[in-house]
């Protein structure tokens, strides 16, 4: 597999772990000293931090497991990434990709089953977030790991303060 494809797969594993709320899997994609930070757009190309950075894969795992809200019954999220720009320089690489996150809420199946006239998907799908992942990676022992990850959100994003 090419370096570019391996790097793209790291992002694929990242978004799938997010959708599953799987901190252990997501944290394993990062180095122990990786810096991860989310930013909100304040202008055309201007961003400001949403919260202090997370340092290392263990912090990422903890955040996913303890700060992300669980999906409601019948609910899920689904990340879609596109337009991957990947630059490889030996054992270092940079990845930039667009993303959209959808909120999925399946309708509850009626106790007696779906009515005869029911057809197709039962529920709703709504886009809830978009932006860019701007990610630095390093090959360590033959495996690409994230060393820097910036989530550049298109809309204002608020995290409640304690």
Query: Between the CA atoms of 109, 113, 115 and 118, what dihedral angle is there, to the nearest 10 degrees?
Result: 50
Grade residue 156 by pLDDT with cuts at 50, 70 and 90: confident
- What is the pLDDT at residue 162? 60
Residue 22 has pLDDT above 90, yes or no: yes
Residue range 54-74: mean pLDDT, rounded: 95
Q: Which domains does the chain have, with CATH numbers?
A: 3-153 (3.10.450.50)
Q: pTM of the prediction?
A: 0.92
Say which residues have a Cβ less than 8 Å from residue 68's Cβ, sequence separation at least 6.
18, 21
> What stretch of H or E contains 9?
helix 3-20
What confidence tier does 20 reach under pLDDT thresholds 50, 70, 90? very high
User: pLDDT class for 157, splitting at 50, 70, 90?
Assistant: confident
Q: Is the alpha carbon torsion for 125, 130, 132, 137 positive or negative?
A: negative
Residue 159 has pLDDT above 80, yes or no: no
Residue 133, pLDDT score: 98
Predicted confidence band of residue 24 (pLDDT cuts 50, 70, 90) = very high
Alpha helices in 38-133 (DSSP H): 57-67
Q: What is the mean pLDDT of residues 27-45?
A: 94
Q: Could you tell me which residues are beta bridge partners of residue 125?
A: 104
For the chain, percent of residues with pLDDT exceeding 70: 98
The predicted-structure confidence for 101-128, as pLDDT tens digits, reads as follows 999 999 999 999 999 999 999 999 999 9
């Amino acid at each position: 597999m090419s370096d570019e494809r391996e790097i793209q797969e790291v992002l694929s594993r990242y978004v799938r772990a997010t959708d599953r709320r799987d901190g252990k899997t997501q944290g394993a994609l990062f180095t122990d000293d990786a810096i991860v930070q989310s930013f909100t757009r304040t202008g055309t190309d201007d961003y400001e931090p949403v919260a202090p950075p997370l340092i290392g894969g263990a912090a990422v795992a903890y955040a996913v497991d303890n700060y992300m809200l669980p999906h409601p019954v019948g609910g899920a999220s689904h990340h879609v990434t596109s337009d991957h720009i990947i630059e490889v320089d030996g054992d270092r690489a940079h990845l930039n990709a667009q993303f959209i996150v959808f909120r999925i809420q399946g309708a509850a199946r009626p106790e007696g089953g779906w009515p005869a006239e029911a057809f197709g998907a039962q529920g709703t799908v709504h886009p809830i977030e978009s932006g860019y992942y701007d990610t630095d990676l390093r090959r360590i022992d033959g495996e690409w790991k994230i060393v820097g990850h910036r989530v550049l959100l298109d809309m204002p994003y608020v995290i409640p303060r304690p």
